[in-house]
Structure 1
Amino acid sequence: REGKTCAFIDAEHALDPIYAKKLGVNIDELLVSQPDTGEQALEICDALARSGAVDVIV
């Protein structure tokens, strides 16, 4: 809504894009990662945070 870049780390592979869209999430602009392990999730989160390329990480 504010034009910020958001990354969603879907560690449980449970993202429901239809429901998210109903909640107001811009699915077309959402960066989604579905890591296979918790370690991968943390590595992705760390890399995104350090890069400064995203405004919000969920």
Structure 2
Amino acid sequence: MPKALTIVGMGVSVLLILVFALDLLAGVPFGGASMTMDIAFVICSAILGFLSYTTFAEQK
């Protein structure tokens, strides 16, 4: 079960990076409401992806 949770964490981080990077670049999902918030979410999503990947790698 923990491996599945780390894979889900990586998937969620990729999805969030795509959504907020698209909003940052094109303003599509949220109309580019806040550039600061978009950058913060992209950074936090990248951190989530990194932590999920390192946890997944330790479980082998």
Considering fraction of residues, name the structure with more helix: 2
Considering fraction of residues, name the structure with more strand: 1
> TM-score, normalised to structure 2's length?
0.35
> TM-score, normalised to structure 1's length?
0.36
Computing the radius of gyration from Cα coordinates, the structure with the larger value is: 2
